[in-house]
């Protein structure tokens, strides 16, 4: 079983490293489509993109401070769209900001657990 899991994880890692930029572009396109073209928040779309985002974070090994900065950056358009009374887009930006903060805190907690035993 261990050989099989190492084989599969090796294949996934080599595929991800080979197609790092196209995968990131695909995520960004789906993200923009979700924010601006889809009128409502659909749980399955958010769940799919959330999993894709975690994969991209793992792929690039983004640090927590980068995730927090990105979350703060996403709060700015949320505030602007809220001021201009486009609440659905503002809510989506706020949701993604919250998800980035959640990932950052979870990474920090898991890092502390791993470090402390």
CB 74 within 8 A of CB 99: no
Q: Which residue has the higher pLDDT, 2 or 43?
A: 43
CB 36 within 8 A of CB 88: no
| Separation between Cα atoms, residue 84 and residue 41, nearest integer Å | 19
| Separation between Cα atoms, residue 110 and residue 114, nearest integer Å | 6
Q: What is the pTM of this model?
A: 0.82
Q: Where are the alpha helices (DSSP H) in 37-86?
A: 43-60, 64-83
pLDDT on residue 71: 93
* DSSP designation for 1: -
Could you report the per-residue pLDDT of 28-69, keeping only the tens digit for each? 999 999 999 988 888 899 999 999 999 999 888 888 899 999
Rounded to the nearest 5 degrees, what angle is found at the Cα of 11, between the Cα atoms of 56 and 19? 45
Could you report the per-residue pLDDT of 15-26, keeping only the tens digit for each? 878 888 898 999
């Amino acid at each position: 079983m261990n050989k099989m899991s190492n084989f599969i994880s090796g294949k996934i890692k080599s595929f991800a490293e080979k197609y790092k930029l196209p995968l990131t572009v695909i995520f960004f396109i789906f993200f923009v489509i979700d924010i601006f073209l889809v009128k409502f928040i659909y749980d399955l779309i958010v769940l799919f993109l959330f999993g894709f985002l975690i994969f991209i974070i793992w792929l690039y090994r983004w640090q927590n401070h980068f995730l927090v900065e990105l979350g703060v950056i996403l709060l700015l358009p949320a505030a602007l769209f809220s001021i201009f009374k486009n609440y659905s887009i503002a809510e989506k930006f706020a949701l993604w900001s919250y998800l980035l903060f959640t990932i950052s805190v979870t990474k920090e907690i898991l890092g502390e657990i791993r470090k402390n035993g």
